């Protein structure tokens, strides 16, 4: 699978949408992101993520995010709630070693 990264450190603009479109038109199928950005509050991250996932759905792009237990906790997402994780509208997640199995 060919993918590229989009980070949530800034508000997404029409320039970012055009980047997604250009990458999709070049044959890329997946966007990678992470659910944290320095000096950015959780509400802003979730708003930017919702914007990005909406664009990805419209452009038929998959979206995968790096997550860890501390990151999900910062976003007020219960790490044991599949429903809450699914509510992020991600195609997939990549769980890092900071995630504790229970």
For residue range 33-44, list pLDDT tens digits in order.
999 888 889 999
Token pair 């229970």: residue: 102
Task: Look over the chain and give the mean of its residue pLDDT values, rounded to a whole number.
Answer: 92
What pTM, to 2 d.p., does this model score?
A: 0.90
For residue range 57-87, list pLDDT tens digits in order.
999 999 999 998 888 989 999 888 889 999 9
CA distance 95 to 24: 25
Helix or strand (DSSP H, E) at 93: strand 92-95
102 pLDDT higher than 60: no
54 pLDDT higher than 90: yes
Token pair, residue 22, equals 């250009």
* Sheet with 30-34, side-by-side order of all strands: 3-5, 30-34, 62-67, 92-95
Confidence bin at 90 (pLDDT 50/70/90): very high
All domains of the chain in start order, with CATH? 3-95 (3.20.20.70)
Rounded to 5 degrees, φ, ψ at 52 are -65, -45
Measured CA to CA in angstroms, residue 46 lies from 1, 5, 26, 39, 102 at distances of: 26, 17, 28, 14, 25
- Average pLDDT over every residue of 81-99: 87
């Amino acid at each position: 699978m060919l993918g590229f990264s989009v980070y949530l450190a800034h508000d997404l603009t029409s320039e970012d949408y055009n980047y997604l479109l250009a990458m999709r038109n070049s044959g890329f199928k997946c966007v990678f992101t992470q659910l944290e950005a320095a000096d950015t509050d959780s509400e802003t991250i979730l708003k930017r993520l919702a914007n990005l996932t909406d664009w990805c759905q419209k452009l038929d792009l998959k979206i995968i995010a790096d997550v860890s237990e501390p990151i999900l906790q910062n976003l007020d997402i219960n790490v044991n709630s599949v429903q809450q994780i699914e509510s992020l509208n991600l195609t997939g997640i990549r769980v890092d070693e900071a995630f504790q199995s229970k």
